């Protein structure tokens, strides 16, 4: 159990604790800085919902290590998804990328990498903001089962799962707790 006060149900198993999330984000922030020779030409873009607070945390850590502020954007991929039914009304969230992406390295930040379809949608959405020099991907959890040839550049933890399992990332900013749990999907 993590330091945070959240009771797990009998169907849930914590696989990443609050402390492990913190350590993973510290490591990922160092890896981003090292790979890009600092923070000068880097923009972090968090994918809604949990990628946004993760991107903000990474930017804060990078600023702490480098002394350079790192722009953070928020990206809603809803209209770019390939699984939105025509008759549904999707829940739209805010997209806000104020820093120009042209000639910059954009690091997409998400909580879980699964099939790769959300990342493909995010890359399509980014095209509306210009053409980055490079797009990199940072995720807290890579659970496998890719349907598209997409891989993360920065991974907090690889967690092989079965298709009958679900990964739930809980972030303090949205869920009042930092924790990653695995559950069995209802069939």
Helices 51-66, 18-35: axis angle to 10 degrees equals 60
- What pLDDT shows up at residue 85? 58
Residue 109's nearest CA partner among 147, 145, 62 is 62
Q: What φ, ψ does residue 14 adopt, rounded to 5°?
A: -70, 130
- What pLDDT shows up at residue 79? 87
Q: Which residues make Cβ contacts (< 8 Å) with residue 34, sequence separation at least 6?
A: none
pLDDT in tens, the chain (187 residues): 334 446 777 789 999 999 999 999 999 999 999 999 999 999 999 999 999 999 999 999 999 999 999 999 999 999 888 776 555 666 777 899 999 999 999 999 999 999 999 999 999 999 999 999 999 999 999 999 999 999 999 999 999 999 999 999 999 999 999 999 999 876 4
Q: Domain ranges in the chain?
A: 18-81+92-163
- What pLDDT shows up at residue 58? 98
Chain centroid, CA 95 distance in Å: 15
Q: What φ, ψ does residue 25 adopt, rounded to 5°?
A: -65, -40
- What pLDDT shows up at residue 165? 95
Q: What is the CATH architecture of 18-81+92-163?
A: 3-Layer(aba) Sandwich (3.40)
């Amino acid at each position: 159990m993590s330091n945070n006060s959240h009771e797990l149900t009998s169907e849930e198993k914590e696989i990443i604790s609050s402390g492990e999330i913190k350590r993973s984000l510290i490591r990922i922030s160092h890896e981003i800085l090292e790979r890009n020779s600092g923070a000068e030409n880097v923009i972090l873009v968090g994918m809604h919902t949990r990628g946004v607070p993760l991107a903000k945390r990474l930017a804060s850590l990078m600023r702490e290590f480098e002394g350079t502020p790192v722009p953070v954007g928020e990206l809603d991929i809803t209209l770019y998804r390939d699984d939105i039914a025509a008759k549904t009304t999707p829940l739209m969230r805010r997209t806000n990328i104020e820093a120009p992406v042209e000639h910059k390295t954009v690091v997409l930040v998400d909580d879980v990498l699964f099939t790769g379809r959300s990342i493909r949608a995010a890359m399509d959405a980014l095209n509306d903001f210009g053409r980055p020099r490079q797009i990199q991907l940072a995720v807290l959890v890579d659970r496998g089962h890719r349907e598209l040839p997409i891989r993360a550049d920065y991974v907090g933890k690889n967690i092989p799962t079965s298709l009958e399992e679900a990964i739930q990332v809980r972030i303090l900013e949205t869920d009042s707790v930092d924790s990653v749990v695995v559950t069995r999907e209802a069939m």
